[in-house]
Amino acid sequence: MSVQDTAEPSRRDFLYIATGAVGAVGAVTLAWPFIDQMNPDAATLALAAIDVDVSQIAVGQSIVAKWRGKPVEIRQRTEAEVLAAKDASLDELKDPIARNANLPGDAPAIDANRAAPDREQWLVMVQVCTHLGCIPLGQSGAYDGWFCPCHGSVYDTAGRIRSGPAPENMAIPPFEFTSDTTVRIG
């Protein structure tokens, strides 16, 4: 057995360990801002869910709320709009899938799967054209729903694509009515 194996740690050994520890702490301190910036922005977290008062929306009118940076249209449809949406058969639709985040992914695009449950006059929908992300104009087009003037996509009164280059129906975000006058989106 040599003398070095049983010797006490030297000052040099202490300096190596201390330098390594300071270097490790410095590396973590330097890396933390880069790691932390990958977390969601506070504004994003704040908009994870929003409550919207719908008491002032008259029949045939709509409002647009901003949720996660997207326009969400909340519309109280007229009886004629509801009937027109119900009368459309799945064979007439370009996209037969409901695209409703509240339902299974393969739910058919019938009006009941696009409107609010037990409140068929209410439509809560992300108002973004599924072709190139434009904002369609409401209550226009051949079906009196939405029309995207950029490329000519036409949506019906349930936000389902009927003609034009858009491949899918406009999305229904996760939402629920928390009272008769308040809808929570997100």
**DSSP assignment letter at 133:** S
Distance CA 186, CA 176 (A): 9
Q: Is 131 a catalytic residue?
A: no
How many Cα neighbours within 13 Å face the side chain of 42?
0
Catalytic annotation, pick one of 17, 25, 151, 182: 151
Residues 145, 158 contacting (CB under 8 angstroms): yes
How many Cα neighbours within 13 Å face the side chain of 99?
20
Q: How many CB atoms lie within 10 A of CB 57?
A: 16
Which are the catalytic amino acids? Answer: 151
